[in-house]
Structure 1
Amino acid sequence: MDKIIQENERALCILKNEGEKTLKDLAKMLCITTEGARFQLLKLANEGYVKSESRAKGRGRPQQFWSLTKEGHAKFPNKHSELTLRLINKIKEDFGEETLSKIITSTGKDNLDNYRKTIAETDTLEEKVQKLAQLREKEGYMATFEKTGDGHFELIENHCPICDAASICQKFCSSELSVFQAVFGPNIQVERVKHILAGDRRCTYLIKEKSNT
């Protein structure tokens, strides 16, 4: 039973980090048979955590692509979500939007100070991206980074532990982007190219040196 639970959790983590997968691909990543993977996915589907979509690729038979449902994404914790939402609404109600914005900005400055303890100005751009990804991973963002084919970098966050709060106050997201820009400095461009709140599966930031032209 414990092994089944562990495999269920691994399947959810793979779909969270990697996005939709076919049965065959998921079985390979779990190192189990396709029948074993099918059993896991059907169990998770019955519990409401995953869903499948039939899609044709080329001339072959349609394939089933599996992905997380809203309930599946909710399996990954959002930090103190209910309490946070109550506090945000209370601050807005009693002190107004301006006070809430000042608090979020102040929190962003605290985060920046914390990041600067680890990320040095003398680090290369790749070292800075790597260290920021490691810090964000510790904060619960399931963060990784990749180097693109053109020498740029992507900071990828597969989970947002403050998503509920950000959904009612976009200032959280704008403050986050400002903090990232400050981490890398004025010669580096940081652009959010994918956004969970815009319907994307994850948040992705493109990080590159600014053009001299």
Structure 2
Amino acid sequence: MNNNIPENERAIWILKNEGEKTLKELAETLGVTTEGARFQLLKLSKDGYVKSESRAKGRGRPQQFWSLTQKGHAKFPDSHSELTLRLINKIKENLGEDTLTELISSTGQDNLQNYRTAIPETASLKERIEKLAELRNKEGYMATYEQKEDGNYLLIENHCPICAAATLCQGFCATELNTFQSVLGPNTKVERVDHILAGARRCAYLIQEK
């Protein structure tokens, strides 16, 4: 965990990166007592950053699961969202959808070139995914990756710093998926399995070696 995170925001950071948690799970991750975690959650709930839902998990009494509200997600910046939305609308109005599509494609090509420069062609698939996650993390996507038991990989982006723009024009998302496929090579298959714009808490990409 980033040591620069203020004490009163650590729970928000954990829920953003790891998804919903029970009180006990969050207390363990925070390294505090359940009462200490409860105090933090109640304060954050009062401020509108987190919410709880009572749900049965197996046998026994229902448990409270805590997650972020929209206000909680908004604690993580959407890069220059207001200006970006205005620019997108102006391009649509004055130059048309085709020009906007060309601009998004051109930006995707720039990103692809940057990634290819940073990721050696001789790198293994795991090394390429690791470097791609590192680059995306630096761009504000709170990106990580993991290897699944079946040997496939999952590239995870816990935040989308261009969410407002992507909501208005989903060409951004399509371009990103194509960029990942290109930079990871023709011997891989990249599939988006979680999508923030579809209501998921994160974007996640299943990467399989052909």
Of the structure 1 ranges 25-34 and 127-136, higher mean CA displacement relative to structure 2 is found in 25-34
User: Where does residue 80 of structure 1 map in the other structure?
Assistant: 80
Match of 2:128 in 1: 128
1:12 matched to which residue of 2? 12
**Conservation of the 8 A alpha-carbon contact between 1:81 and 1:162:** yes
Q: Name 1:46's counterpart in structure 2.
A: 46
TM-score (norm 2): 0.96
| Residue of structure 1 equivalent to 2:156 | 156
Q: 1:52 and 1:41 mapped to 2: Cα distance?
A: 9
TM-score between both structures, scaled by the size of structure 1: 0.94
- Residue 40 of structure 1 deviates from its aligned partner by 0.5
Deviation track 1:71-117 (CA, whole Å, cap 9, x = no partner) reads: 10000011001000000000001000000000000001110111111
Stretches of 4+ aligned residues off by more than 6 angstroms: none
Deviation (angstroms), 1:57: 2.2
Distance between the aligned counterparts of 1:97 and 1:145, measured in 2?
34
How far did 1:58 drift?
2.8
Q: CA deviation at 1:203?
A: 0.5
Point out where structure 2 has 5 or more consecutive residues left out of the alignment.
none
- State the distance in 2 between where 1:34 and 1:53 align: 17
The aligned runs of 1:188-199 (5 Å cut-off) are 188-199=188-199
Is 1:175 aligned to residue 175 of structure 2?
yes
* Runs of 5+ consecutive residues of structure 1 not aligned to the other structure: none
> Conserved in 2, the CA contact under 8 Å of 1:85 and 1:165?
yes
Matches within 5 A, 1:24-173: 24-173=24-173
CA contact (8 A) 1:49 1:68 kept: yes
Partner SS for 2:9: helix
Distance 2:83 2:26 in 1: 36
Name the % identity: 72
